[in-house]
Amino acid sequence: MNFNIRLRGVCTHSVQFDMDDDFVVSNVVFKGGCPGNTAGVAKLSEGMDADKIISSISGTCCGFKNTSCPDQFAQALAFAKTSILKEKAV
């Protein structure tokens, strides 16, 4: 399933990614933000289980902010996982 999720409180405006029914993440593309950092997060996330990514990057802060692009990505993954679980339940 493809997701395009708007991020809040960070330089990156959105993140697009695929997540399959087993919660494996692929095709991660960040729009905006620090290109090197977001490209690195995208590459490291490729083919990984969403829960592993979430536990690794959730809570990461950027400077004085209480969030970051990785933290927002973790929140987006959690939202996507919940969406898939709801769809499976139907």
* Span 30-85, pLDDT tens digits: 999 999 999 999 999 999 999 999 999 999 999 999 999 999 999 999 999 999 99
Kindly report the pTM of this predicted structure: 0.95
| DSSP states along 6-58 | E--SSSEEEEEEEE-TT-BEEEEEEEES-HHHHHHHHHHHTT-BHHHHHHHHT
* Span 19-39, pLDDT tens digits: 999 999 999 999 999 999 999
- CA dist 48 and 77 (Å) reads 12
User: Measuring CA to CA, which residue among 38, 17, 16 is closest to residue 26?
Assistant: 17
